[in-house]
Structure 1
């Protein structure tokens, strides 16, 4: 299962709005068909699908990736098998900042440095192996401007004592090592980054906007576990670079202006402990009552903004 975190901005208290979209009914049906009717691995005539790497995403897609009727099931050796993410870039290679140019109060060199810091933040908060294993995102926190009121303190609080209102997974991807472990070392990544001169109340800042989806294959932590599940996390983050001639800022740091997240395949009813909680097909088949009944969504569909998605706990069409 999973959820949406609504818009956070300007150093206000960061809290999840409503929970949605997760691996439930859609997965149960697909799993039953795959195992009991048409097992893809037993159909040698079947095309395994295009695995050609995709070029970088430069604008919002017009539609979701095509879906296979009977997608291949992931394995320990091929954890992205049967997923659109098989064509995505690996980890940090999927985060490609655009070419810099002088914008607003910033020179080309300053914009280039800020874009690199934005990438560093996304890597540290979504791809750092220690953070994925439930560790503290120290490198990401270190990039946040300490002069931005309350933001760093609020994030530290959410990590120390997570609650529904203060949930660190609204910004950081973390799994409980007691519950699951990552399959391999690769996280698939796709998205884009843009920058622009601010307008209105943001007129004295340059804004960097990041929109990325990360796909995490995991198995249960118990030794010998081999059933692979995937959790899909889409994040949008806006960083603000304010003019130091007009505002008190720390050079070389980032101000977090807004962040949102949509999580596919993480339980909706889990106690708030600061971790994502993937569901497995076997769990859903033995306990079908745990499946949510909300609207179905495709977590790989990047053609819509996060504000266009349902705010209910629902199901995903695939993982």
Structure 2
């Protein structure tokens, strides 16, 4: 993984007890409905660069510093041998993120967390045996049960003049950034794989490796032009989002851009999507977790050739937990379900990570497919 910057810019959870282990084996022998699985996680960082030549906007293409390694999804329910291998994933070391709030096992009496104002120092705490999500309570067993609902979790900071941009210009840029996050990660039509007209409208049409590249990816998705770099999309023929809520947590900051007459907004948000299969009668619920680090810029059109009020992508980085690595590049997030993992060879592979951990910059995490410790 790596991070690109615009051309011409200066380089800017306790140990497992015997009782817990016995309880785990008992649950697995009974069919394991409450035993957490360790689905695949896909990790992707893609950075977009803004070229500033002759005062015109026009970024270079997003890049990765090495190809993705593909890993097969495995189940900790495949056999006792696999159970031993997956202990690290089932009982992550308890940690506290330093923010107030508590998550109950069932989730119905969770205390809402205060807004995130700085990067957490650790992952949110987890339960050794989290309750399984249901159609009625799709966030049961997840730290996200205490997170904000949808757009309410995207707080816009108070605007101020910066970088030669007026307070009103900055306020418009911040508002546009929130609208982009909502349109690309929360809009029901976007989640169903529809055309993200509102998200595209907010992006500068002059940016070939921003909006133009995204439009190409929507028409012909592949790994080097993947709409998932910015959009959360699911195949409606396979899955549907449960209920009307997506849980959201993160923060937004801003500062002077790469030149006078510009402002950059940095957004770091995690979205938790509860999903079930689209087939009639489906009742198993799984979750896919997507974290995005997005930097956009707004330029004063009096100083830079740009579309007034539009957003220019400077950097986009994304990492998703519980999305099938073998189907990367097809333009959809592909959640896996417990029923799909029957008979798969045991033995989780790839680096294990907690998709709820917001304590690290995405650019510091391995750029390869691995396993997640929880969903």
TM-score normalised by structure 2 residue count: 0.75
Q: 1:185 to 1:28 in 2, by over 3 A?
A: farther
Q: What is the DSSP-based 3-state SS (H/G/I as helix, E as strand, rest coil) of the residue aligned with 1:269? A: helix
Displacement over 3 Å in runs of 4+? 14-29, 46-50, 201-204
Could you say which residue in structure 2 is the equivalent of 1:42?
none
Distance 2:76 2:228 in 1: 23
Q: What is the DSSP-based 3-state SS (H/G/I as helix, E as strand, rest coil) of the residue aligned with 1:307? A: helix
Moved more, 167-176 or 3-12: 3-12
Q: What is the DSSP-based 3-state SS (H/G/I as helix, E as strand, rest coil) of the residue aligned with 2:144? A: helix
Q: What is the DSSP-based 3-state SS (H/G/I as helix, E as strand, rest coil) of the residue aligned with 1:258? A: strand
Could you say which residue in structure 2 is the equivalent of 1:313?
369
Distance 2:112 2:133 in 1: 18
* Structure-to-structure mapping, 1:1-319, within 5 angstroms: 1=40, 2-10=42-50, 11-14=59-62, 18-19=67-68, 24-25=73-74, 28=77, 48=106, 51-198=110-257, 201-202=258-259, 204-270=261-327, 272-288=329-345, 293-319=349-375
RMSD of the alignment, in Å? 2.5
* Structure 2: gaps (5+ residues): 1-39, 51-58, 84-103
Higher RCO structure (Cα 8 Å, ≥6 apart): 1
Does the CA contact (< 8 Å) of 1:195 and 1:207 recur in 2?
A: yes
Could you say which residue in structure 1 is the equivalent of 2:98?
none
Residue 231 of structure 1 deviates from its aligned partner by 0.3
Distance 1:82 1:92 in 2: 22
Decide which structure has the larger Cα Rg and report it: 2
Q: 1:48 to 1:294 in 2, by over 3 A?
A: same
* Structure 1: gaps (5+ residues): 34-45
Does the CA contact (< 8 Å) of 1:176 and 1:275 recur in 2?
A: yes
Residue 203 of structure 1 deviates from its aligned partner by 5.1
TM-score normalised by structure 1 residue count: 0.88
Number of aligned residues: 304
Residue 20 of structure 1 deviates from its aligned partner by 7.5
Residue 285 of structure 1 deviates from its aligned partner by 3.1
Distance 1:72 1:23 in 2: 25
